[in-house]
Amino acid sequence: MPHIQWNAKRYEEDAKFVRDLGDEVIALLEPKVGERILDLGCGEGSLTLKIVESGAVVTGIDSSYAMVEKSRAKGIDAYVRSARELDFYEVFDAVFSNAVLHWVPQAEDVADGVYRSLKEGGRFVAEFGGEGNVATIMGAIEKLFGDHPEWGVFENRWYFPSAQAYRQVLERAGFREVHTQIIPRPVPIKSIENWLELFGEGIMKEMCDDQKRDFRSKLTDMLRPKLYDADRGWWADYVRIRVKAVK
Ligand code: BEZ
């Protein structure tokens, strides 16, 4: 995953919607008492705890040390690991992942690692950003960077695959019974500034403080007509890909 200095406390407070949306993915996972489950990208552990409550034996991994510390403070068996370098061999009955895999463009490496980690018959259940995710926000960012070359280069390195492309990735890794589905899901956010602070740190990496202020304010102005109304407030144009596959 790219090296992002996650602010674990901020994330826990302001990105609550991420774990709330994860409840449906846990329902799809159907964790059972005694099953060994890997939570790939456990973050600060709130969703992981819900899987633990089902009676499963859960291991969490995350690329962020700060997040792993937060998970451990909740009593979760969590480790710092990259999703690209899973070093488990036929250990888990299921691998679960929510709102993480769009950070990892090396999708083939992840799929191979998940496949290796699962026991025969084990399942992979995941949800993350799919084709068209935050397209309005990304389009506005690309336009602003085009208009302001002095801000540096905007590299859109997120991985938002189509249902068909991701099905192929999983089938090539060896999975069967592969189901992939694109789900448009606009989510309420506090503000564009707050969203940028949570998820867009790398976007402003080459800007000085004045440029960051200018960028945030221009982006907010550009997106207000599309992603804000007085009754609902701000929202982000999320699109998810939901995945279930069997080894
Ligand atoms: C998402 O959760 O969909 C997301 C996160 C960061 C950047 C873009 C999208």
> DSSP letters of the chain?
-------HHHHHHH-HHHHHHHHHHHHHH---TT-EEEEET-TTSHHHHHHHHTT-EEEEEES-HHHHHHHHHTT-EEEE--GGG----S-EEEEEEES-GGG---HHHHHHHHHHHEEEEEEEEEEEE-TTTTHHHHHHHHHHHHH-GGG-----------HHHHHHHHHHHT-EEEEEEEEE--EEES-HHHHHHHH-GGGGTT--HHHHHHHHHHHHHHHHHHHEETTTEEEE--EEEEEEEE-
Residues in the chain: 247
211-235 pLDDT tens trace: 999 999 999 999 999 999 999 899 9
* pLDDT for res 213: 94
* pLDDT for res 207: 92
129-151 average pLDDT score: 96
User: 28 pLDDT exceeds 70?
Assistant: yes
pTM of the model: 0.91
Residue 102 C-alpha to ligand 1 middle, in angstroms?
A: 7
Domain spanning 8-134+158-189+237-246: which CATH class is it, in words?
A: alpha beta
Question: Distance (Å, rounded) from C-alpha 109 to C-alpha 5?
Answer: 23
Ligand 1 mutation pick, 19, 64, 192, 199, max ligand atoms within 8 A of CB: 199
State the average pLDDT for the chain: 93
86-132 pLDDT tens trace: 999 999 999 999 999 999 999 999 999 999 999 999 999 999 999 99
* pLDDT for res 202: 83
Question: Which residues in 71-86 are b (16+ Cβ under 10 Å) and which e?
Answer: beeeebebeebbbbeb
* pLDDT for res 126: 98
Residue nearest to atom 1 of ligand 1 (CA): 129
* pLDDT for res 2: 44
43-64 pLDDT tens trace: 999 999 999 999 999 999 999 9
168-182 pLDDT tens trace: 999 999 999 999 999
Question: Distance (Å, rounded) from C-alpha 23 to C-alpha 204?
Answer: 32
Residue 195 C-alpha to ligand 1 middle, in angstroms?
A: 9
* pLDDT for res 113: 98
* pLDDT for res 1: 42
Ligand 1 mutation pick, 97, 102, 138, 183, max ligand atoms within 8 A of CB: 102
Whether the CB of 15 sits within 6 Å of ligand 1? no
Amino acid code (one letter) for 153: V
Question: Distance (Å, rounded) from C-alpha 12 to C-alpha 23?
Answer: 16
* pLDDT for res 10: 63
User: 82 pLDDT exceeds 50?
Assistant: yes
